[in-house]
């Protein structure tokens, strides 16, 4: 059940410290779900207050004694009420999310970025990629906000990046982020159902954080996660519908030395049971060693390619 909070009346004298404490208490009482940029009520309270006051999000201490005006208090309580009443992740209220130290615009057309693949990119995919400057091409399949495509472009400065998503709405957000990072020349956006619009393209790297939530897990999702596009989360009965397509078709889109890097949540056991003959490698991330797998092209089974139809997304069609 969603509990409704009572808006607090603004008072003339209240400090940032007092306000963060009160917001924290309110969030805690509301028993929210976290995982969209923070993991607890305290961090979320600090984020909401500092955002509403337009202060740097990593600097609470210098501002603890600052007075908060009645207008600012109203702004803060407006955000807190929406967070609690609608169970909206804070990132959708503030329209910003971070992956590593990179900021991305987000709204409800895309999931809030949190892919563990970002950590591997921060390390330039070493040791699996031995010469990052020799990476010429990469695909981000299921690009959402475009966050991984942007990180790929930054990590591999010589690479041309293709970023594909079946969702026109998501591509509009990706376009905005690509433009914000001035990467329009290096990142091409495609509207594509998996590989369908990428007919004869081959890449050094294919990266994907596909929908991988099973039907049973979808039914149990906290409300905050239901505010995200279902298309970005639901992976069919066992969660692996799109992963199966990746495992079947990536071989036709990888260079001979190419790598496939896929995030699947904490589902290593289930995937290894479903594909016992594939030599998955599970790099360690802060999520553990069961979230992301890497396969070399030579480890993927050869199968006849699917029939493709090429359609590059028109730049105008995705403008907000």
Ligand X SMILES: C[S@@+](CC[C@H](N)C(=O)[O-])C[C@H]1O[C@@H](n2cnc3c(N)ncnc32)[C@H](O)[C@@H]1O
Q: Which residues bind ligand X (CB under 6 A)?
A: 110-111, 113, 115, 142-145, 147-148, 164-167, 170, 192-194, 209-211, 231-232, 242
Alpha-carbon separation of residue 273 from 63, 151, 270 (angstroms): 52, 31, 5
| Least distance (Å) between residue 192 CB and ligand X | 6
| Distance of alpha carbon 140 from alpha carbon 137, whole angstroms | 10
The neighbour count for residue 168, using CB atoms within 10 Å, is 12
Q: Which tokens go with 53?
A: 């006051």
Angle (CA) 180-184-189 rounded to 5° is 105
Within 10 Å of residue 319's Cβ, how many Cβ atoms? Answer: 9
| Least distance CB 169 / ligand X (angstroms) | 8
Quick one: 115 or 285, whose CB is closer to ligand X? 115
Give 113 or 239: the residue with its C-beta nearer to ligand X. Answer: 113
The three-state DSSP-derived secondary structure of 102-113 is EEEECCCCCCCC
Q: Which is nearer to ligand X, 49 or 246 (CB)?
A: 246
79 versus 110: smaller Cβ distance to ligand X: 110
Strand arrangement of the beta sheet that strand 137-141 belongs to: 187-191, 160-165, 137-141, 203-208, 254-263, 292-296
Q: Do residues 164 and 142 make contact, with C-beta atoms less than 8 angstroms apart?
A: yes
Q: Please give the backbone phi and psi of residue 299, each rounded to the nearest 5 degrees, phi first.
A: -90, -10
Closest distance of CB 162 from ligand X, Å: 12
Give the closest residue to 145 by CA, choosing from 194, 87, 92, 204: 92
**CB-nearer residue toward ligand X: 20 or 173:** 173
Q: Which is nearer to ligand X, 167 or 214 (CB)?
A: 167
Report the alpha-carbon distance of residue 152 to residue 205 in Å, rounded: 10
CB neighbour list of residue 96: distance below 8 Å, 6 or more residues apart: 51, 103, 104, 105, 106
80 vs 111, beta carbon nearer ligand X:
111
CB of 16 to ligand X, least distance (A): 31
CA dihedral over 290, 296, 302, 304, signed as positive or negative: positive
Minimum distance from CB of 310 to ligand X (Å)? 15
Q: How far is the CB of 257 from ligand X (least distance, A)?
A: 24
Q: Tell me the closest approach of the beta carbon of residue 213 to ligand X, in angstroms.
A: 9
Nearest distance from residue 242's CB to ligand X, in Å? 6
Closest CB to ligand X among residues 32, 141:
141
Which of 38, 71, 41 shows the shortest CA–CA distance to 54? 71
């Amino acid at each position: 059940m969603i509990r409704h909070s009572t808006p607090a009346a603004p008072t003339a004298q209240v400090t940032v410290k007092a306000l963060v404490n009160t917001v924290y208490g309110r969030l805690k009482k509301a028993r929210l779900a976290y995982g969209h940029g923070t993991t607890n009520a305290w961090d979320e309270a600090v984020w909401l207050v500092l955002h509403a006051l337009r202060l740097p999000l990593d600097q609470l201490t210098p501002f603890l004694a600052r007075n908060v005006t009645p207008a600012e208090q109203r702004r803060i309580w407006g955000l807190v009420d929406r967070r609690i009443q609608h169970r909206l992740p804070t990132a959708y209220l503030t329209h910003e999310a971070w992956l590593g130290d990179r900021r991305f615009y987000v709204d409800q057309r895309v999931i809030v970025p949190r892919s563990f693949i970002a950590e591997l990119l921060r390390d330039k995919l070493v040791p699996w990629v031995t010469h990052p400057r020799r990476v010429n091409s990469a695909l981000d399949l299921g690009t959402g906000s475009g966050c991984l495509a942007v990180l790929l472009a930054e990590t591999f400065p010589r690479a041309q990046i293709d970023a594909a998503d079946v969702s026109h709405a998501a591509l509009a957000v990706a376009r905005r982020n690509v433009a914000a990072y001035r990467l329009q020349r290096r990142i091409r956006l495609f509207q594509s159902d998996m590989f369908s619009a990428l007919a004869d393209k081959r890449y050094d790297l294919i990266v994907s954080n596909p929908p991988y939530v099973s039907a049973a897990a979808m039914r149990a999702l906290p409300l905050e996660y239901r505010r995200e596009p279902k298309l970005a989360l639901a992976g069919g009965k066992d969660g692996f519908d799109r992963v199966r397509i990746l495992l079947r078709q990536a071989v036709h889109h990888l260079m001979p030395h190419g790598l496939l890097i896929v995030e699947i949540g904490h589902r290593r056991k289930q995937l290894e049971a479903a594909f016992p003959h594939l030599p998955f490698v599970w790099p360690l991330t802060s999520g553990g060693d069961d979230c992301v797998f890497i396969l070399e092209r030579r480890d993927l089974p050869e199968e006849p390619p699917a029939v493709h139809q090429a359609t590059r997304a028109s730049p105008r069609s995705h403008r907000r």
